[in-house]
Amino acid sequence: MAKYMLLLGGADLDKRSQDPAFGPQIFQHFKQWLGALQAGGHYVASHKLRDQIGARLSVRGGEVVEGPFMETKEAVGGVFIIEAASLEEAIALARTAPTLELQKGFVEVRVVEEVKLPSDH
């Protein structure tokens, strides 16, 4: 099976809602979703990204500059690696991500291409 990266983001609804029960509710939905991915043999790895901690580098005027972060609605908040038989199957799995329904965020599905480094001899 091929590997796919799911980039989840734009999901700051839990922070804007001011509802302290919403965060644990989202966590529970993600736990169930990840359990379903594992049970189906699709789950490989996942990582949540910390909000606004890190750096964004770009080139301006021929120089590398730092910042600013992109707007929250465009920011990636988590990365998931899954395995699927096809892009269509990966998209179908991505459609079930809690980010879409609960947080009105987005999921970008990308094919992971393994890069082999030349071996030193």
Give CA–CA dist 121/109, Å, rounded: 37
pLDDT at site 25: 85
Q: What is the pTM of this model?
A: 0.80
Above 80 in pLDDT, residue 109? yes
pLDDT of residue 46: 94
Q: Tokens 């899954």 map to which residue?
A: 82
Write out the H or E segment, with its range, that includes residue 6: strand 2-9
Q: Which two tokens stand for residue 89?
A: 């199957």
* Alpha-carbon span 70 to 52, nearest angstrom: 9
For CA atoms 84, 90, 96, 97, the dihedral sign is positive
Q: What is the largest CA-CA distance in the chain?
A: 59
CA separation for the pair 81, 89 (Å, rounded): 14
pLDDT at residue number 86? 97
What is the pLDDT averaged over residues 4-8? 95
